[in-house]
Amino acid sequence: MNQIKGSALVQRSHNSNTHINLYHSLVWFIKMEKLKLVLVLFLSTCHNALSITDGLLPNGDFEHGPKPSQLKGSQVVGYDAIPNWIISGFVEYIKSGQKQGDMLLVVPEGAYAVRLGNDASIKQKVKFTKGSFYSITFSAARTCAQEEKLNVSVVPTIEKGDWGVIPIQTMYGSNGWESFACGFKADFPEGEIVIHNTGIEEDPACGPLIDSVALKLLNPPKRTKANLLKNGNFEEGPYVFPNASWGVLIPPHIEDSHSPLPGWIVESLKAVKYIDSNHFSVPEGQRAIELVSGKESALAQVVITTIGKTYDLTFTVGDANNACEGSMIVEAFSGRDTVQVPYQSKGKGGFTRGKLRFKAVSPRTRVRFLSTFYTMKNDNSGSLCGPVIDDVKLLSVRYPGFPA
């Protein structure tokens, strides 16, 4: 009897150990399957396009760099050596503080950036929502070339105009870096964002530094009963880097087929600057426009009007609290009418209100703003600046006989 009990206990113990082993095997199997799933997702992320709606592209700040074996000095060797990017031509991986002769190369955010030498480019594949509008924001700085230009494109596109050449000779910031924005319409569900230095210099390493490339899905604003203008408060616009204190330059319309500032056209030879309330004085809301290039920096919008009807155009004029001092004048145009709004800036923030009453003479009226004077910051940087405009509204006047 005792032998039978002992045999039963041994059998029970054996069954228990079997169950435990089966349990551990099952747990191990589940863990391995999860690991495989994570690995598959990771690999698909590395090789396939990602959908970005508001923020940096994968490794958009270039903080993840090539392996030491993929660098020849600072030159990148291998078309896919920089994670998430495909490169072409003479591309360098630059560490902040790196020297080139007597020049100290500074990176605005993080520790690393890339430099595009002769005919060099970087590109990344991205998924889009077909038919939607996007803006690209990136930071760039000049180095040793005299005339540096960047060709920014999205491939493929149906329209030939979805590319722009952005000159970076004129400096508006005080630290040598600028952020630029350009817009496009996504005619395909997938495409490549390409930044290309088309310049050819004697020194193949000469070329602009590139850092912090971001993408934003734009929401096209609509006219309302409270405002016949679209995006009159400038709240809808390109991505602004949270730690960048120099704003975002929006290039002229002739260099940008789809404006990254929905509703508005930069119809001048020079850019306007998109500023945020985290780094500048903004009269209303979180975003505004600084007219940084005098009469060469004009902003416009075409609005539907009724011939013979009276309208009021109201807006705010101020300064960005960025050491931009002096006498400023913003000129506003509506059809054949114009008004000049003076503002005496102390460079420490503040604003005044402007108003223009006019009678429409056309079914479409162009509303336009520009700065009368050129202004420079008083920080000895030689940086251009100018008046800020914000809170632009256009409304029809029900009783035009009353004073404006």
- What residues does each domain of the chain span? 2-47, 54-218, 265-396
Beta 133-141 vs 209-218: how paired, if at all? antiparallel
Residues 6+ apart with CB under 8 A from 35: none
The answer to whether 54-218 and 265-396 have equal CATH topology is yes
**Per-residue CA distances from 222 to 227, 265, 303, 306, 385 (Å):** 9, 16, 11, 18, 30
Render pLDDT for 252-280 as a digit per residue (tens, 0 to 9).
Answer: 876 666 889 999 999 888 899 999 999 99
Is the pLDDT confidence value at 22 over 60? Answer: no
- Grade residue 175 by pLDDT with cuts at 50, 70 and 90: low
Phi first, then psi: what are they for 161, rounded to 5°? -85, 0
Reported confidence tier of residue 202, pLDDT bands at 50, 70, 90: confident
pLDDT digits (tens, 9 = 90+) for 208-252: 899 999 999 999 898 888 999 999 999 999 999 998 889 999 988
Which tens digits make up the pLDDT trace of 24-44? 554 444 444 443 333 333 333
Determine contact, residues 141/178, Cβ cutoff 8 Å: yes
The pLDDT value recorded for residue 364 is: 96
pLDDT of residue 163: 56
- Spatial CB neighbours of 256, under 8 Å, sequence gap ≥ 6: 164, 182, 183, 250, 266
Least confident interval from 21-35, 89-103, 292-306: 21-35
Q: Is the peptide bond before 403 cis (omega within 30 degrees of 0)?
A: no
What the block records as the tokens of 352 is 């005044």
Among 377, 253, 401, 382, smallest CA distance to 325 is for 377
Q: What is the CATH architecture of 265-396?
A: Sandwich (2.60)
As a CATH number, domain 54-218 is 2.60.120.260
pLDDT tens-digit map of 301-315: 999 999 999 999 999
Token pair belonging to 165 = 């050449």
Burial class (CB in 10 A: 0-12, 13-18, 19+), 392: buried
Q: In the chain, pLDDT over 70 holds for what percent of residues?
A: 81
